[in-house]
Structure 1
């Protein structure tokens, strides 16, 4: 084999190795980006990356005139469950809740862990009426989960806010979250009043 052919083979080998190295670097970068955006416990978007995504969806809604629904979700009595059964059980509850939420929504929707036992579910290009159908599926999944749990019942409080471009165009991401949070606390307060009534009157719950 002459020197020219040897040089070509060496060059081809170097280029192939370089190509493989670049592919590995791209994959590693994608992995790093994924882990930087995902909550490690629940495998949903973490607060930072989730709010960035929500901001993009809000901008798109303003441009395209599409509705956007945001739901704030809170696990009822999470602290009590954590204290009584331990943090490991609390982690299992968070994982189970995130699975129920993820498995009940569309591919275009997404879940954000805001912190602790609080989640945000974002529904782009949809309305409250459609979201209510999703929540029916979520609550049915919660019921099913509770049939297999003899320790305690999972209970979720949630509040939804629908943004409509024709109504208000200056709303911010913080406005969406705050308004959904207000709706969630309305439900949570009703549950507290119901619990207190049953406790005072010795009604089994």
Structure 2
């Protein structure tokens, strides 16, 4: 059975508004406030529990393209990384390959594991996580997920490539040290003060 679509307001707050920020940066119209709020859309707290105890960690997250577009998008980004591109060019490529709503799988969020500390230890044993988004003054979502770990596959390659394109426009890290998480969304709760944790998905 096909899953119900995610709530449009969640997609707007977490995905569409970040896409609009990237457009403003390209056009030279972004403000300091844009960046502060924009990064909060991208850097929620990821809570896990396991051998390392109850843990919460701020991580950069984003949606991933649908499986049928994954290889093509990855190859486009890898080609640009091999050349080395400037910031604006990198953002334009991301808009075309990563921020096309028709190609995005909104049931999965991704992140890179840079530290391999508490989150890593917990997820290896207990692949459950809650992602908490907060966008001031009152937009906040609790996203409950099942986590899968990816190394040396297309998901690992794609997420590392997107990260490096955004942060510098060239491959500058040893990706073998940075596995990737896929957060498979199970439930979403709207923690807006008016809704007080109302379940909005599924």
TM-score band w.r.t. shorter chain:
under 0.3
Structure with higher helix content: 1
Q: TM-score by structure 2 length?
A: 0.27
Structure with bigger gyration radius: 1
As a proportion of its length, which structure holds more strand? 2
